[in-house]
Amino acid sequence: MANAMDAESDVVLANDKVMAANHCMTFGEYCQSQVDRGRLLQMRYAETRLHPMLQAGMIDYADALVVIALVTDDDPDTTAVLPVIARLLAASYRVQLRILTDADVFPLTTLLPDIDLSAALEEWDLPQFFVFDEDWELQAQWGPRPMQAERNLEEWLSRYPEYETLADDDSSAALERYSALTAKLIHEMRVWYNSSLSTACQREFYDVLAALMAADEVIESES
């Protein structure tokens, strides 16, 4: 009986974009789901300060949008970037954030029916943020980090070239070293974002949303 109900739920989810979005987590729910990182995510959210101009822009933002964040739980970029975007979007009454992990991408098959998710997941660096309008049309995609952070990360990886190789090594020594380097990277990313990258991250993402508003204004003026 339970299997039949689950199958029926999957069928409904596969054909209902609203239900697919509601299947995703809020930022608070995602933090609660993270046994080890939930407190750090909440700390990053609390220590994020919005640039006054961007905060005002989000308060006045007129379009109704849903942003779906696709994340990897243990990725340093998730810890660094997701709380900043969540803090920015929380300033708006009309823009919602929902979160999905790469372990449960099924709702995206409904929300992005024209994309081969298996192939895309091989190419995308997570987190990725998908911006949908009120008709559930994909309007923009952004991620995984602001350009300024990209340069910082490239410099860090040049100092620790073994980091990416260790991710594919299941030996106990490699796992221990990878865990230590991940903790080091998360710490350094917090320092980066608390100095200047938080504002850079906010500004880049806000520019994506502002461009959508500008496009709407052009369409209205041509009508």
Question: Which residue segments constitute the domains of the chain, with CATH numbers given?
Answer: 2-222 (3.40.30.10)
Cα dihedral 104, 17, 94, 55 in deg (nearest 10): 30
Question: What's residue 215's pLDDT?
Answer: 59
3-state secondary structure of 174: helix
Apex CA 103: angle with CA 125 and CA 133, to 5°? 65
Give residue 15's pLDDT: 58
C-beta neighbour count of 195 within 10 angstroms: 9
Alpha helices in the chain (DSSP H): 2-15, 17-22, 27-33, 38-47, 52-59, 76-89, 106-111, 117-123, 147-159, 162-166, 172-192, 198-222
Measure the CA–CA gap between 221 and 213, rounded to whole angstroms: 12
Q: Which of 96-100, 105-109, 120-124, 146-150 has the highest mean pLDDT?
A: 96-100
Write down the pTM of the prediction.
Answer: 0.79
* C-beta of residue 108 within 8 angstroms of C-beta of residue 117: yes
What are the residues whose beta carbons fall under 8 Å from the beta carbon of 160, sequence distance 6 or more?
181
The predicted model gives 129-136 an average pLDDT of 94
Measured CA to CA, the distance from residue 20 to residue 173 in angstroms comes to: 41
Cis peptide before 127 (omega within 30 of 0): yes
Q: Which of 91, 10, 107, 95 has its CA nearest to residue 48?
A: 91
Instruction: Provide the 3-class DSSP secondary structure of residue 141.
Output: strand
User: For residue 13, what pLDDT is reported?
Assistant: 45
Q: Which residue is it, tokens 């054909």?
A: 15
- Token readout for 60 is 């006045």
pLDDT band at 219 (very low <50, low <70, confident <90, very high): very low
216 pLDDT band, cuts 50/70/90, is low
Question: Cβ distance 61 to 209 under 8 Å?
Answer: yes
Summarize the confidence of residues 110-117 as an average pLDDT.
91
Alpha-carbon gap, residue 167 to 161, rounded angstroms: 11
Using CA atoms, how far apart are residues 211 and 157, in angstroms rounded to an integer?
32
Flag whether pLDDT at 19 surpasses 50. yes
Give the bridge partners for 95, in sequence order: 65
